[in-house]
Amino acid sequence: MSAPLRLGILGSGKGSNFRAIADAIAAGTLYAEARVVISDVADAGILDLARERGVRAEFVAPGKFKTKLEPESEHRIVELLRSADVEIVVLAGWMRMIKTPLLEAFPRRIINIHPSLLPKFPGLAAWEQALAAGASEAGCTVHYVDAGMDTGEILAQARVPVLPGDTSATLHARIQVEEHRLYPEVLARFARRE
């Protein structure tokens, strides 16, 4: 059997998708290793989760921009991912656009999960966009990352209904249940070297 898939995880938030991935690794359903978790938010929950699980946790100050990283910060992230010998970069609640040099350092090796059925509702708070549009279903999409906003090639999707009385919180929670199932499943394909 080949070696476990070496993952580098980037996240800005609470890290529930990272937790699902780490749980799948621990359960043996995902033959992978989380080599490093990197955040642009110093006190992000995802960094605490990484430390709890004995995974290297690194904060990289993002610089002055709101929606992207300063080039020096992106260089630092590339360095960290390379020094951890990462094969696949997993965006798990990462809230900034990815540019060069990161895109060029990991061509077709950066993936993201987005809380909508792309190409519908790219961008922020996609579940709120779905509610506001009166959609009858919502879901999540795992996709390759390219230079656009949530535009890369789609790897897999999962659907959930929008129910009468749904709030932003109930709909997002329903979508996240599917995210936590789908993301480890897609990564397992990479781990099987398919």
Q: Contact, 168 vs 127, CB < 8 A?
A: yes
Instruction: Tell me if 184 contacts ligand GRF by CB under 6 A.
Output: no
Interacting residue with ligand GRF among 21, 92, 117, 135 (CB under 6 A): 92
Tokens 């080039």 belong to 71
Task: Give 170: exposed, middle or buried? Use CB within 10 Å, 0-12, 13-18, 19+.
Answer: middle
Instruction: Tell me if 152 contacts ligand GRF by CB under 6 A.
Output: no
Instruction: Tell me if 178 contacts ligand GRF by CB under 6 A.
Output: no
Listed in sequence order, the residues at least 6 apart from 169 whose beta carbon sits closer than 8 Å to its beta carbon are none
Interacting residue with ligand GRF among 39, 98, 179, 187 (CB under 6 A): 179
Q: How many residues bind ligand GRF (CB under 6 A)?
A: 14
Tokens 């100050």 belong to 61
Interacting residue with ligand GRF among 35, 62, 80, 93 (CB under 6 A): 93
Instruction: Tell me if 15 contacts ligand GRF by CB under 6 A.
Output: yes
Listed in sequence order, the residues at least 6 apart from 9 whose beta carbon sits closer than 8 Å to its beta carbon are 18, 21, 34, 36, 37, 38, 46, 50, 89, 90, 92
Q: Contact, 120 vs 127, CB < 8 A?
A: no
Catalytic residue among 75, 114, 172, 180, which? 114
Instruction: Tell me if 115 contacts ligand GRF by CB under 6 A.
Output: yes
Question: Is the alpha carbon torsion for 83, 87, 92, 97 positive or negative?
Answer: positive
Minimum CB distance to ligand GRF, residue 1 (Å): 29
Q: Which residues pair with residue 69 across a beta bridge?
A: none
Interacting residue with ligand GRF among 17, 37, 135, 145 (CB under 6 A): 17
143 is catalytic: no
Minimum CB distance to ligand GRF, residue 112 (Å): 7
Contacting positions for ligand GRF (CB under 6 A): 11, 13-17, 92-93, 113-115, 140, 176, 179
**Residues with catalytic function:** 114
